[in-house]
Chain A
Amino acid sequence: DIQMTQSPSSLSASVGDRVTITCRASQSISSYLNWYHQKPGKAPKLLIYSASSLQSGVPSRFSGSGSGTDFTLTISSLQPEDFATYYCQQSYSIPSFGQGTKVEIK
């Protein structure tokens, strides 16, 4: 099974900040890496697929990069609606998620 490790587990940031979350796979997954965010009591929402492709309707302040084992999600200017928990997920084989990164208001 492929293990996904995110860092940090949580972070505090202000509106307008640039935020970066990293995700590492236990083996190469090419570009089969997706990012979601989830707000309390809500279903997860797809943000980025195939490491760097922006899902339709998602604001352009979200971007993704990486390939192989190391990946990054960047929010260029954090907005109030972006405070949530972010998960990476590999779709290279049997799916698995990272443990999540909680983005909180500073």
Chain B
Amino acid sequence: EVQLVESGGGLVQPGGSLRLSCEASGFTFSSYWMHWVRHAPGKGLVWVSRIDTDGSSTNYADSVKGRFTISRDNAKNTLYLQMNSLRAEDTAVYYCARNLGYNYGYPFDYWGQGALVTVSS
């Protein structure tokens, strides 16, 4: 059974840092692109970042570029999102999601349960 389990969320002050983790199981993690998607309170889903199978290629939404870093450890079957210089508008539930394939053109077929990040003083 495919499972994605996020951890690392919490309350952080503006300007602070947090690292989210997403532990994968039930599939060959190293064969799939992975994404982070966030859902702010009362808002819609927003794509945040994407990483390819070996971590050599990444993309970011303009709103997080230069502040967030996506990475992966295929030996540990784990996806990461390092979030620096956090702002109030980064407050959201963050989901990791599996890209059905290893290229564009595929949907996000499995999602984690989400990790809540609250940025507030």
Contact = CB atoms under 8 A, between A and B. Distances in A.
A85 B114 CA distance: 17
A55 interface: yes
A44 B59 contact: no
B104 A100 contact: no
Nearest to A30: B105
Contacts of B105: 32, 91-92
B113 interface: yes
B99 to A, nearest CB: 8
Contact of B107 (A43, A91, A93, A100): A91
A87 interface: yes
B59 A94 contact: yes
Contact of A44 (B45, B100, B104, B106): B45
Contacts of A100: 44-45
Contacts, number: 61
Interface residues of B, number: 22
Contacts of A98: 44
Interface of B is mostly: strand
Interface string B59-90: 10010000000000000000000000000000
B104 A93 contact: yes
Contact of B45 (A32, A49, A50, A87): A87
A36 to B, nearest CB: 8
Contacts of A93: 104
Nearest to B114: A43
A95 B50 contact: yes
Nearest to A55: B109
B27 interface: no
Contacts of B109: 46, 49, 55
Interface of A: 1, 32, 34, 36, 38, 43-46, 49-50, 55, 85, 87, 89, 91-100
26 contacts: A32-B104, A36-B45, A38-B45, A43-B95, A43-B111, A43-B113, A43-B114, A44-B37, A44-B45, A44-B95, A44-B111, A46-B107, A46-B109, A49-B107, A49-B109, A50-B107, A55-B109, A87-B44, A89-B45, A91-B105, A91-B106, A92-B105, A94-B47, A94-B50, A94-B59, A97-B44
